[in-house]
Amino acid sequence: MKLEILAKRLSQKTDTPILEAAVLGRAEKSELPEDCIIWQGAHTGKPGPRLRMKRGYDNLPWITSVRDRPRAVINFKGKRHTVQRLLFDLLIAPDFPYKLENTCGEPLCVNPVHYVAKAVHNGNMRHSEPKGPNVPSNDLGPVYVNEEPWTIDEISELVEIALTEHSITCWQSLIELELLTGAPHDLIDKYLRSIGKHHLCDSHPDPL
């Protein structure tokens, strides 16, 4: 899919024409609306409660009722992307590894202005500089965030979602999921070992 087609789809699925222009570098990000831009296209998650497996301190699985947090998704260049991450990469493009934090509380909002990039390495204050064609570097100003390392709780949540929603057969099939983009491999490996999924680990040994 060409960038022009992607930009048009993003615009159509959000009823936000200015988004197409911004993606193509024909409008500044400061022209995006201040309100939420709600994604009306495909998304993961199912309406209403569903059963989900969790694990206790004894590592034994138990079933609980949870509600899905929908994730806006779109296919681009043969891969499935979360729309929020794709738009942030296209319009903000931080030059450091990061995870996104939503500031408006609406899970299907894809407005880049409503997200900040949290760096996931080192321990210094970093910021994301706006980039892209025809976009001034200070149109939205830097987004300052405290770098916070990934936690094992965050990793466990994502890995359990991956194991529940996908047919994971090996390490590679797991880490290639968009869901785990940017997640540290050492923590993924550590959690897999803690729940006895040694066959999915980066290196198999250590079953005893």
pLDDT one digit per residue (tens) for the chain, 208 residues:
588 888 998 999 999 999 999 999 999 888 999 999 999 988 876 656 666 666 766 777 767 766 667 888 887 876 778 899 999 999 988 888 888 889 998 989 999 999 998 887 544 434 444 334 333 333 333 333 333 467 787 788 778 878 887 889 999 999 888 667 767 899 999 999 999 899 999 876 554 4
Say if pTM beats, i.e. exceeds, 0.75. no
Indicate if 8 and 81 belong to the same structural domain.
yes
In a domain, 130, yes or no: yes
The CA distance from 166 to 11, in Å, is: 29
Q: What is the DSSP letter of 5?
A: H
Helix/strand/coil for 161? helix
Sign of CA dihedral 79, 119, 174, 185: positive
Domain termination site, one of 126, 145, 164: 145
Residue with tokens 């998650």: 45
The token duo for 181 is 């983009």
Residue span of the structural domain in which 19 resides: 3-41+71-145
Q: What is the DSSP letter of 139?
A: S
Indicate if 133 and 32 belong to the same structural domain.
yes
What is the CB neighbour count within 10 angstroms for residue 71? 19
